[in-house]
């Protein structure tokens, strides 16, 4: 919980400055959603919902998207990640990767569904194929790298 505000500021800086050159075909990992997932593993589902709402509202304010869109999605993902993290053994890299991949894909699907409801139907298949799936893979890979890089370095240091 004490890492929430520094994590939020790091997400803002990284999303704005660092990820521009690291985007793949215009696709960037969603660091805000990644923060929600990582914090949600350590708190209760209710606290994760509130934190997800705050992160999403902050992201909506910065991005110019419809206010409340990411707040709703991130609060829902925070609740689900907290519940699943308490019910599943997510300390293994593969389990964490699948949780991040499924959660990011679900968040993209919910966002697409809400935008479709309010703004009209976009082409569904291209949005899923060229935006949601690559962003989900990229976010899950970056999340796995962030979580497991310190442990991998410790293993390498012990072996040397």
Q: CA torsion angle for 88, 92, 93, 97 (degrees, to 10)?
A: -10
User: Which single residue is written with the structure tokens 């705050």?
Assistant: 54
Q: Distance between CA 160 and CA 154 in Å, rounded?
A: 10
pLDDT tens digit sequence for 11-57: 888 888 877 787 888 888 999 999 999 899 889 999 999 999 999 99
Q: Distance between CA 84 and CA 99 in Å, rounded?
A: 8
Q: Does the global pTM surpass 0.85?
A: yes
Query: Residue ranges per domain, the chain?
Result: 4-8+26-159
pLDDT, residue 60, reads 92
Half-sphere exposure of 47 (CA within 13 A, CB side): 9
Q: Which residues of the chain are under the pLDDT cut of 70?
A: 1, 160
Q: How far is CA 68 from CA 27, 58, 81, 86, 100, in A?
A: 22, 10, 19, 27, 22
* DSSP H/E element including 119: helix 93-119
Q: Is 92 helix (H, G, I), strand (E, B) or coil?
A: coil
Q: Distance between CA 155 and CA 48 in Å, rounded?
A: 31
């Amino acid at each position: 919980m004490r890492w929430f505000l520094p994590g939020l500021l790091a997400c803002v800086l990284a999303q704005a400055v660092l990820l521009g050159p690291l985007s793949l075909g215009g696709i960037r990992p969603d660091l805000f959603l990644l923060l929600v997932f990582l914090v949600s593993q350590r708190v209760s589902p209710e606290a994760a919902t509130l934190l997800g709402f705050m992160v999403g509202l902050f992201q909506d304010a910065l991005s110019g998207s419809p206010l409340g869109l990411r707040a709703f999605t991130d609060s829902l993902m925070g609740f689900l990640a907290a519940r699943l993290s308490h019910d599943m053994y997510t300390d293994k890299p593969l389990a964490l990767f699948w949780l991040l991949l499924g959660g990011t894909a679900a968040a993209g699907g919910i966002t697409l569904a809400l935008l479709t409801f309010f703004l009209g139907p976009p082409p569904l298949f291209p949005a899923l194929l060229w935006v949601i799936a690559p962003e989900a893979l990229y976010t899950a890979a970056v999340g796995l790298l962030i979580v497991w890089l310190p442990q991998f370095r410790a293993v390498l240091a012990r072996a040397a």
